Amino acid sequence: MEPTINSAQELIECSVPMKANKRTQPEPMQVNVNGVNIGGREVIIIAGPCAVESMEQLVETAVAVRKSSAKILRGGAFKPRTSPYSFQGLGEDGLKMLREISIETGLPVVTEIMDTRQIEIVCRYADMLQVGSRNMQNYPLLKEVGMTRKPVLLKRGMMATIEEFLLAAEYILSQGNGQVVLCERGIRTFETSTRNTLDLSAVPMLKRRSHLPVIVDPSHGTGLRWMVPAMAKAAVAAGADGLIMEVHYKPEEAFCDGHQSLSLGEFDQLMKDLKRVAQAVDRDISRQP
Amino acid sequence: MEPTINSAQELIECSVPMKANKRTQPEPMQVNVNGVNIGGREVIIIAGPCAVESMEQLVETAVAVRKSSAKILRGGAFKPRTSPYSFQGLGEDGLKMLREISIETGLPVVTEIMDTRQIEIVCRYADMLQVGSRNMQNYPLLKEVGMTRKPVLLKRGMMATIEEFLLAAEYILSQGNGQVVLCERGIRTFETSTRNTLDLSAVPMLKRRSHLPVIVDPSHGTGLRWMVPAMAKAAVAAGADGLIMEVHYKPEEAFCDGHQSLSLGEFDQLMKDLKRVAQAVDRDISRQP
Amino acid sequence: MEPTINSAQELIECSVPMKANKRTQPEPMQVNVNGVNIGGREVIIIAGPCAVESMEQLVETAVAVRKSSAKILRGGAFKPRTSPYSFQGLGEDGLKMLREISIETGLPVVTEIMDTRQIEIVCRYADMLQVGSRNMQNYPLLKEVGMTRKPVLLKRGMMATIEEFLLAAEYILSQGNGQVVLCERGIRTFETSTRNTLDLSAVPMLKRRSHLPVIVDPSHGTGLRWMVPAMAKAAVAAGADGLIMEVHYKPEEAFCDGHQSLSLGEFDQLMKDLKRVAQAVDRDISRQP
Amino acid sequence: MEPTINSAQELIECSVPMKANKRTQPEPMQVNVNGVNIGGREVIIIAGPCAVESMEQLVETAVAVRKSSAKILRGGAFKPRTSPYSFQGLGEDGLKMLREISIETGLPVVTEIMDTRQIEIVCRYADMLQVGSRNMQNYPLLKEVGMTRKPVLLKRGMMATIEEFLLAAEYILSQGNGQVVLCERGIRTFETSTRNTLDLSAVPMLKRRSHLPVIVDPSHGTGLRWMVPAMAKAAVAAGADGLIMEVHYKPEEAFCDGHQSLSLGEFDQLMKDLKRVAQAVDRDISRQP
């Protein structure tokens, strides 16, 4: 393995032409998720539960977040869990529920893919494929999603430098799929009062070095429900093209991540606050048509 | 993965009464720096050069930042430098220049103190004492500034947890000086594309756990001039009570930190942008009277 | 400052019975790799090139390391590379060469597996399956290797806690495959003078908390050829059950990791030195029969 | 502040002549602590309590560690504590006890200095001045100890790079005091199962880049009494010139750090084991004359 090239300068100077490099493609790009454009003037909000649990949960949450101006629905059917004894997701049943709710509400859906063998089935139901933090350097998986024509939400590994993050995106781009959205979701540091350390400087840094849109996940980035609003506002002020947040209709009963999920009421209030911040930096969050 | 929120919990539960703890003093406090209140509705901007270099430099910078609505002037007379062969500051001559310019412009001045033996002389000239990152756990120094009646700007150590940061403040408070402003200035992580990783989650976390005002230093936090505006806006959106930023009339000729100092023009533009963000979160940045 | 020994304590106290936990299985276990036992009195040395490049390279290296008392041959056929444009390995051709050389020299072979779809083919040729750092939390892959009956070499993720490392092993054990060897290979920290920070305290910690054998990779752990001997000796003194090291017959011509690979002569000298250290801690490194 | 120069190569290439650089002084140096040479063939063991508590404690501990072949006594009179409400040390009374016991046993004593104002008094009683981790970048203190003629034990900051550590030593050397011993004592990482992560690769790295002797502190480096022996042996195998360890005659009653202090019996057994490891790497630990 090669020593990491470690400054922005060096990457820009890198002689190998890179697709994720701004020198190759100087104009910011928009990624189209079934009609929703990420990377334009509008700040796109992706919301939904950590894991798909039931049709009731999904309907209640999706209808509410749509009303609060979320544009894309998130929800996990295959869950990567630190312990093999934790809830692992509903699998294909969860994917079917996501598809159904998407048809009903008109919200495109994004869901995580963990295994190259799941590509076909996840592509059948989802509008956007998420590659999670733990798989940011799962190269066979990156290549496989690079061979699909679905937009990809690539989360930064909790131990990945900006450089490695862009090279992970390059794995997808190099296979011909240019529709990649980068997501900062917190890195691991010595600090233990938050679940991760949300590195908002990644937003301007990634936007300077690459043409790809950049969004932020304040839910995993902090791990603390009460802190999500402050960091969501900060992310928008820093220039994020969107946010992905965990919202649950009954956070205290969530199968996972309830402690970092917003309630429907908290989410609605936050969306109003975010719209003001977005406008203060010449962006906007529009209502659903 | 499960969050390790142990420290926050433990500190709140801590049986020893702590002065920096919100349970002891639930109301947010304002720190008065010679007439400028930090911790109120107004977002206070502290600006100036890394080091005092000459009267000309100081006058040009101070007059300009004052016009752009900065409320306090910063400038180092004693400089902590990683190498013993780097410029170490002008010492007392620098302090005198700071005093003079303060009288001329009406801006209070904050400057760093590095040694218990400097207390008397620095107190003679400065309105606010800064304890830098490298000295956050210099306990004899913390006790000495705790025995003065000057407001203190305490910067987080680059390796300090939130818990340790509050305990450092406690050293000052325990000596009877309650006028402490906490400053997040970036922590050290594995990421090398920025000088430090600015941990903006420290802002809501510190404000939840303590009554002390919290400000942010995006200049040291990023080490990159072009990134300062994005992170300054993010800090205000996250709820910071103020910002401290390096501004130089000729950044390319600065004795130190020129690469992270804003020019006078960049600073003026940023202040206009910051005012909009401040208002979007129900704060304000007012003009000098 | 007070130690935060929470994880060790919690894991031991964990109510869910865990297979990787010493409370469940208090006796140290030996893992049998085609006749070579890891976890007994003997310190087992695994050596070979980063990547399989050619039959010539493999023969020269294998014969030499065998003569110097290495007991298992390593070599990558599928290589995880940070950049998609770097050499990705010889694939099945590489696996065949490994098998051939194994038959010729009698050395069992260990090679990395990166994708659930490679299980069948890698099992056909290898004696031991390696799950690399980047895949330590690739749960579908862990489950698949857990369903084979091949011994597994599981490398610690570069930002994985001891707790997460043991839980990754648990994914394999929970599927019925108990033949897991844990490998410390350096973690990511702020320090940049070495490629990673080799965390040798992981050796006593893992051996206290689990019955699984623990080995160390000083090649990736340091990234510096000249430093490998010092850290290899330290690992054995700390109680490691074995070492895995990169050795190349022409390091300066290696396709990858040449800067951290020992030459055949350096390796031979190191083995003599290691034998002395092993004996000083009541272990041994025996000659090939 | 200047961006850190980050590779060994760069430092060696550095144009400013540096006193701590091997290019300037290629021969390893020995530091003489009142007759005990650190940096020669002999591995020097420094042992004693975290803090001086009483004459009884000091006598019992000093006599016992001397008998087990320790060559220098450690003990804190001024203690840096994270909380202002923890035991802060006996001050000058503690220093006097150290002097007395030194005369009685013939062991030179090393003790920590935290404040430039303590220089005179500490120099009066101690044979070697310790600058602790938290003060590694307390530049006024480094300069002051650099102006004395006492040997200095400089501990690495818990988040200091190798480069910064050498530059801190340079502060002392630049004032004319060349008698500096470097001490690795664990760095701060994301791992929480140990108090710090003992970075043993610092030993070969420092010895390659500087002529100064290097010792290791496995007590603070791990924070766990049961782990000290494994890491002490590893440090010697890695090439350390000495060790500093916390030993207490009644660890369970220690005022501080009892959980990481060895009992007298544990220390005696460890010394026997260390002697074997030292001899396996062509060093030695000799008995007191």
- pLDDT score at D3: 33
**Is residue B216 within 8 angstroms of chain A, CB to CB?**
no
pLDDT single digits (tens) B170-224: 999 999 999 999 999 999 999 999 999 999 999 999 999 999 999 999 999 999 9
ipTM of the complex: 0.92
Chain A: residue whose CA lies nearest to C135: A138
**Is residue A188 within 8 angstroms of chain D, CB to CB?**
yes
| Confidence band for A15, pLDDT divided at 50, 70 and 90 | very low
Chain B: residue whose CA lies nearest to C160: B1
Cβ-based contacts under 8 A for chains A and B: 144
Pairing of strands D44-48, D72-74: parallel
User: B236 vs A237: CB contact, 8 Å cut-off?
Assistant: yes
pLDDT at residue C17 above 90?
no
- pLDDT score at A289: 65
**Is residue D165 within 8 angstroms of chain B, CB to CB?**
no
| Confidence band for B119, pLDDT divided at 50, 70 and 90 | very high
Question: What tokens were used for C177?
Answer: 């495959």
- pLDDT score at A117: 92
**Is residue C135 within 8 angstroms of chain A, CB to CB?**
yes
Question: What tokens were used for C3?
Answer: 């130690």
Question: What is the C-alpha to C-alpha distance for residues A162 and A174, in angstroms, rounded to an integer?
Answer: 18
- pLDDT score at B8: 32
Question: What is the C-alpha to C-alpha distance for residues B196 and B219, in angstroms, rounded to an integer?
Answer: 10
Collapsed DSSP state (helix, strand, coil) of residue A106 = coil
User: A234 vs B230: CB contact, 8 Å cut-off?
Assistant: no
Collapsed DSSP state (helix, strand, coil) of residue D287 = coil
From the list B3, B208, B238, which residue is nearest A223 (CB)? B3
**Is residue D189 within 8 angstroms of chain A, CB to CB?**
yes
pLDDT single digits (tens) D88-97: 899 999 999 9
Query: Both ends of chain C: CA-CA distance in Å?
Result: 52
Residue C214, amino acid: V
Lookup result for tokens 């939840």:
B208
User: C84 vs A140: CB contact, 8 Å cut-off?
Assistant: no
| Confidence band for D27, pLDDT divided at 50, 70 and 90 | confident
pLDDT at residue C10 above 50?
no
Which of A181-190, B22-31, B91-100 has the weakest average pLDDT?
B22-31
From the list C50, C134, C164, which residue is nearest A138 (CB)? C134
- pLDDT score at D289: 65
* Probe site for chain B from C190, C196, C199 (most B CB atoms < 10 A): C190
pLDDT single digits (tens) D104-148: 999 999 999 999 999 999 999 999 999 999 999 999 999 999 999
Of D15, D22, D105, residue with least CA distance to D67? D105
User: A192 vs D192: CB contact, 8 Å cut-off?
Assistant: yes
DSSP of C133-202, one letter per residue?
A: GGGTT-HHHHHHHHHS-S-EEEEPPTT--HHHHHHHHHHHHTTT---EEEEE--B--S--SSSSB--TTH
- pLDDT score at C289: 65
**Is residue B83 within 8 angstroms of chain C, CB to CB?**
no
* Probe site for chain C from D50, D85, D192, D193 (most C CB atoms < 10 A): D193
From the list A6, A115, A170, which residue is nearest C140 (CB)? A115
pLDDT single digits (tens) C190-248: 999 999 999 999 999 999 999 999 999 999 999 999 999 999 999 999 999 999 999 99
- pLDDT score at C14: 41
Of D145, D137, D156, D97, residue with least CA distance to D118? D145
B256 phi/psi in degrees, rounded to 5: -155, 150
Note the pTM of the prediction, 2 decimals: 0.92
**Continuous segment of H or E residues that includes residue C32:** strand C31-33
Distance (Å) of CA B85 to CA A112, C61, D15, D116, D143: 53, 49, 12, 21, 12
Q: Give the mean model confidence (pLDDT) for residues A52-60.
A: 95
| Confidence band for A18, pLDDT divided at 50, 70 and 90 | confident
Mean pLDDT of chain A: 91
pLDDT single digits (tens) C22-79: 777 778 899 999 999 999 999 999 999 999 999 999 999 999 999 999 999 999 999 8
pLDDT at residue C269 above 90?
yes
| Confidence band for A82, pLDDT divided at 50, 70 and 90 | confident
**Is residue B201 within 8 angstroms of chain A, CB to CB?**
yes
What share of chain A in percent tops pLDDT 90? 83
User: A171 vs C84: CB contact, 8 Å cut-off?
Assistant: yes
Residues 36-75 of C with CB under 8 A from A: 50
Q: What is the largest CA-CA distance in chain B?
A: 56
User: B7 vs A193: CB contact, 8 Å cut-off?
Assistant: yes
Cβ contacts of residue C230 below 8 Å, gap of 6+?
D201, D203, D204, D237, D238, D239
**Is residue D4 within 8 angstroms of chain A, CB to CB?**
no
pLDDT single digits (tens) A155-198: 999 999 999 999 999 999 999 999 999 999 999 999 999 999 99
C-alpha dihedral (A136, C128, C250, C263), degrees to nearest 10: 110
- pLDDT score at D93: 95
Cβ-based contacts under 8 A for chains A and C: 85
Q: C16 to chain B: which residues are within 8 Å by CB?
A: none
Radius of gyration of chain A (CA): 18
Q: List subunits contacting chain D, requiring 3 or more Cβ pairs under 8 Å.
A: A, B, C
**Continuous segment of H or E residues that includes residue A155:** strand A152-155
Q: Give the mean model confidence (pLDDT) for residues D164-171.
A: 96
Q: C190 to chain B: which residues are within 8 Å by CB?
A: 188-190
- pLDDT score at C258: 86
| CA D135 to centroid of chain Cα atoms | 13
Eight-state DSSP code of residue D153: E
User: D188 vs A190: CB contact, 8 Å cut-off?
Assistant: yes
Which of C14-23, C77-86, D198-207 has the weakest average pLDDT?
C14-23
Question: What tokens were used for C138?
Answer: 């690739």
When comparing pLDDT for B129 and C79, which is higher? B129
Name residue C109's beta-bridge partners. C73
**Is residue C117 within 8 angstroms of chain A, CB to CB?**
yes
Of A200, A225, A224, residue with least CA distance to B189? A200
* Probe site for chain C from B6, B139, B163, B190 (most C CB atoms < 10 A): B190
The shortest C-alpha distance from B135 to chain C (Å) reads 16
pLDDT at residue B97 above 80?
yes
* Probe site for chain A from D10, D187, D190 (most A CB atoms < 10 A): D190
The answer to whether C121 and C147 are in contact (CB under 8 A) is no
- Residue C80 sits at the vertex; the CA angle it makes with C74 and C86, to the nearest 5 degrees, is 110
Cβ contacts of residue A130 below 8 Å, gap of 6+?
A74, A110, A111, A112, A113, A152, A153, A154, A155
Chain C: residue whose CA lies nearest to A172: C84
User: B83 vs D137: CB contact, 8 Å cut-off?
Assistant: no
**Is residue D5 within 8 angstroms of chain B, CB to CB?**
no
- pLDDT score at B9: 34
HSE-CB for B112 with a 13 A CA cutoff: 24
C-alpha dihedral (C175, C180, C186, C189), degrees to nearest 10: 30
pLDDT single digits (tens) B219-254: 999 999 999 999 999 999 999 999 999 999 999 998
Collapsed DSSP state (helix, strand, coil) of residue A87 = coil
Question: What is the C-alpha to C-alpha distance for residues C55 and C46, in angstroms, rounded to an integer?
Answer: 19
Which of B199-208, C25-34, D162-171, D185-194 has the weakest average pLDDT?
C25-34
| Confidence band for C15, pLDDT divided at 50, 70 and 90 | very low
The shortest C-alpha distance from A260 to chain D (Å) reads 21
pLDDT single digits (tens) C86-127: 888 999 999 999 999 999 999 999 999 999 999 999 999 999
